[in-house]
Chain A
Amino acid sequence: MQSEDGLNFSLRCKVIVGGSASGRILITKQPINFLSSVDHLTGMITDNNHELFGKSLKNSLLVFPYAVGSSVGAYSIFALKSNGVSPSGIICTSKTDITTASGCAIANIPLLEIPKDQDIDKIKNYSKATIDGSSGTLEIKKV
C-alpha cells in the first residue's frame, strides 16, 4: 500500500521493533557490516568501499537492505545508541537480518521492513521522514 498527496508519500511497512522516530533519510542499496564499517564513537561510515563512506548515521533514518558479517554487529548498534550517534530509526528493504533486529530491539531503535512489492526507488537521500511504529507507516516528505 502506498499513498501520495502531491509532495509527500508514505509506505506501509512491517514493524519489527515498535516506536516513533523522525530524521533525514540515509539510503543505500549496499548491506552494512556494523562492526567493521561504522565508527561506534562518531557514527561515521569508515569503510571506503561503502557508498555511504564519510556519512554519519547520527539521527538519520537509515534505509538499507540488511546487515552482513560479524555477529557482534548487534552490539555495535547498541554502542551507537549508547554513544548518542545511532540512527533514530532503521528501515530494512530486504529480509531483515537477525543482527539488525536484535541490535535494534536491545537499543530501542524503531525498526521497519519495507515489503518487496513497494517501490523504494522513490526514496531519496536527505528527504525528511518519520516512522510511526504503531501503524508501521514510513512517511516521506519530498525534497
Chain B
Amino acid sequence: MSVHLSRAEEEGLDGKFGDSISIAYKLLLSIGKATDAERLIPVDWVHLSGVNYNTIGDAGANFLTKYSEEARFSVQTTINPMGYDSHKKNNLSSKFKKKQGEIIKAYGNMGSVPSFSCTPYELFQLPERGHNVSFAESNAAVMANSVFDLHTNKESALSALASAVTGKAPYSDLRISNIRDPKIKIKIDTDLESELDYGLLGYFAGKAVNESCVSFGPYVRNIDMYKTKSLAAALGTSGACGMFSNKEIDAEAISFGKEEAKSIMDELHSNESGDVIALGSPQLGSYELELISNMIGDKKFSKKCMIFCARPIYEKACKSGIAQKLESAGANIICDACTCLSPLLTKDEYDGVITNSIKAAHYLNKSNKVSVCLSSIKSILKEYAK
C-alpha cells in the first residue's frame, strides 16, 4: 500500500516549497510506508523532543542549526526540557552551554514556543477531545492518548519535527479509532499502592506488549496524577505501546504480580541509597508539588534534593507559597530541565541517585551510568526528611 499525497503535498515533496519542506515530506512518507498510512491528516499541535544537548549531541545540534535556516513551523509547536535551568548556577562546561544555546536558537528560529517541558498537557489549553496532535515526548504521547483523548502516535523527534513544518501526520496506528480499542490486557495480581508501583506496572507492560494499546482494566480508573504520569512515563520508556485504557475486555491476559514487579526492581534498583534525591521525570505538576509539600510538613531533607518542574508550575508554586516551603526544606527546584538524561546528574558527581521515577531510573542507569535507589515518594520522605 502506498501513501496517497495531495497535489500540494506532492509539490512539497518535490521541493517546490524548499528543501526543508521536501525533507519533512520525505520523512512523513517513510513513516507512512512503515505504518501503512493511506494519507496524511492535519494536526493541531506538535510537541517536540530532541532539545537537550545531552540526548541529541553534536550531530543533532548541527542538523537543527542547518535545518532551521529555512524551516518554519506551521502549527503551534512546544518543546521538551533542555539540559539545565538558565536562571541557576551550574558546573556545566562552556561547550555544553554553547551547543545547548545553538539548539535553543534553532528551535526558536523555526518558531517554537520555549516551553522546555515534558508535560505540555499540564501547561497549555488542550484541543477538543478526539483531535489529532503529534507528541514526540513519550510520556506526553501516552498521556495525550490515554487521559486526554488527543490522538497521536508514539512519535519520534524527527516525525514530530516533520509534522511541525508541514502541519500533517500520517493517518495510521493510534490515529485510527479501532486501533485505540485495546486487544490485549494486563491482569493485575498484586496490590498497587504507590506511584512507584504504577511505574513498575507501566515498565513491565511496555516490555510485555507489542500492540499499540493495552488495557489495565479498572486498576487505572480514578488514580491520581502522580500515579498516572508515573505509569505513562514508564510504559513509554520500555516499549512501543503508546496508549493504555481502563476498558474491561475479554482478551488474552498477561499477569502482573509480585514476581514481575520484583524483576523490574532487580533491573533498575541498583543501589540501596544515594547522595542526592531527584524528583520529577516527568516534570512535577502543581498536584505533586503540593502533595510533597504537605507530606514534608516542617521537616527538612537530610540529603541534597533536586525537584524538576516546568517554569509556569514553579511560578504558580511561588505564588501559593508551596515553592518557598519546599525550598526551606532544602529542595533545589530546577525549571526547564528534567531528571531524565540531565547532565546535572553525572557519575563523576554522584555515587547514587534516589528517585521514585522508573523512567529516570532507566536513563540514569543506562545512559548516565549512575546507580539508582528506587523508592516511593512516601518512603523517600520517611527516610530522608527529618
- Please report A residues at the B interface, Cβ cutoff 8 Å: 14-17, 31, 33, 35-37, 40, 46-47, 49, 65-75, 78-79, 81-83, 94-106, 111, 113
- Contact yes or no, B158 A75, CB < 8 A: yes
* Contact A69 B155, CB 8 Å, known A16-B30, A40-B57, A79-B60: no
5 pairs of residues in contact across A and B, judged by CB atoms under 8 Å: A69-B238, A71-B137, A81-B59, A94-B210, A102-B30
**Apart from A49-B267, A70-B138, what are 10 other A-B pairs with CB-CB below 8 Å?**
A46-B366, A68-B206, A71-B155, A71-B157, A75-B60, A75-B157, A95-B210, A96-B34, A105-B31, A113-B34
- Contact yes or no, A79 B156, CB < 8 A: no
How many Å lie between the Cα of A78 and that of B58 in the bound state? 11
- Contact yes or no, B156 A98, CB < 8 A: yes
Which B residues touch A17, using CB under 8 A?
30
- Contact yes or no, B366 A106, CB < 8 A: no
Asked if B249 CB lies within 8 Å of chain A CBs, one says no
Identify which of residues 253-282 in chain B touch chain A, using a CB-to-CB cut-off of 8 Å: 267
Q: Which of B50, B206, B210, B367 contacts A66 (CB 8 A)?
A: B210
For the residues of B in contact with A, the DSSP-based class is helix
- Contact yes or no, B156 A36, CB < 8 A: no
Asked if B227 CB lies within 8 Å of chain A CBs, one says no
Q: Which of A49, A75, A113 contacts B56 (CB 8 A)?
A: A75
How many Å lie between the Cα of A40 and that of B26 in the bound state? 24
How many Å lie between the Cα of A79 and that of B157 in the bound state? 13
How many Å lie between the Cα of A40 and that of B58 in the bound state? 10
Within the complex, what minimum Cβ distance (angstroms) separates B265 from chain A? 13
- Contact yes or no, A79 B56, CB < 8 A: yes
Within the complex, what minimum Cβ distance (angstroms) separates B370 from chain A? 13
- Contact yes or no, A82 B236, CB < 8 A: no
Which B residues touch A98, using CB under 8 A?
31, 34-35, 153-156, 159
How many Å lie between the Cα of A110 and that of B208 in the bound state? 29
Which B residues touch A82, using CB under 8 A?
58-59, 62
Which A residues touch B160, using CB under 8 A?
71
Asked if B221 CB lies within 8 Å of chain A CBs, one says no
How many Å lie between the Cα of A36 and that of B160 in the bound state? 20
- Contact yes or no, A74 B157, CB < 8 A: yes
Residue of A nearest to B67 (CB): A106
* Residue in B138, B160, B237, B366 whose Cβ sees the most chain A Cβ within 10 Å: B366
- Contact yes or no, B154 A71, CB < 8 A: yes
Identify which of residues 93-126 in chain B touch chain A, using a CB-to-CB cut-off of 8 Å: none
How many Å lie between the Cα of A73 and that of B206 in the bound state? 16
* Residue in B23, B29, B156 whose Cβ sees the most chain A Cβ within 10 Å: B156
Chain B 148-164, CB-CB to A under 8 Å as 1, else 0, gives 00000111111110100
Asked if B284 CB lies within 8 Å of chain A CBs, one says no
Which A residues touch B30, using CB under 8 A?
16-17, 101-102, 104-105, 111
Asked if B230 CB lies within 8 Å of chain A CBs, one says no
Which B residues touch A31, using CB under 8 A?
239-240
How many Å lie between the Cα of A33 and that of B367 in the bound state? 11
- Please report B residues at the A interface, Cβ cutoff 8 Å: 23, 26-27, 29-31, 33-35, 49-50, 55-60, 62-63, 136-138, 141, 153-160, 162, 206, 210, 236-240, 267, 341, 362-363, 366-367
Which A residues touch B50, using CB under 8 A?
71-72, 74-75
**Closest 8 CB pairs between A and B?**
A79-B59, A82-B59, A105-B30, A74-B156, A101-B34, A96-B34, A102-B158, A71-B136
Q: Which of A65, A66, A72 contacts B55 (CB 8 A)?
A: A72
How many Å lie between the Cα of A81 and that of B58 in the bound state? 12
- Contact yes or no, B49 A72, CB < 8 A: yes
How many Å lie between the Cα of A72 and that of B137 in the bound state? 8
- Contact yes or no, A74 B159, CB < 8 A: yes
- Contact yes or no, B23 A101, CB < 8 A: no
How many Å lie between the Cα of A67 and that of B57 in the bound state? 19
Which A residues touch B153, using CB under 8 A?
98
Which A residues touch B157, using CB under 8 A?
71-75, 102
How many Å lie between the Cα of A29 and that of B24 in the bound state? 31
- Contact yes or no, B136 A36, CB < 8 A: no
Which B residues touch A15, using CB under 8 A?
33
Q: Which of A71, A74, A79, A106 contacts B23 (CB 8 A)?
A: A106
* Contact A102 B23, CB 8 Å, known A17-B30, A36-B362: no
Q: Which of A71, A79, A106 contacts B27 (CB 8 A)?
A: A106
Residue of B nearest to A99 (CB): B156
How many Å lie between the Cα of A120 and that of B23 in the bound state? 33
Which B residues touch A35, using CB under 8 A?
55, 341, 363, 367
Within the complex, what minimum Cβ distance (angstroms) separates A37 from chain B? 6
How many Å lie between the Cα of A101 and that of B159 in the bound state? 9
Which B residues touch A79, using CB under 8 A?
56-60
How many Å lie between the Cα of A82 and that of B61 in the bound state? 12
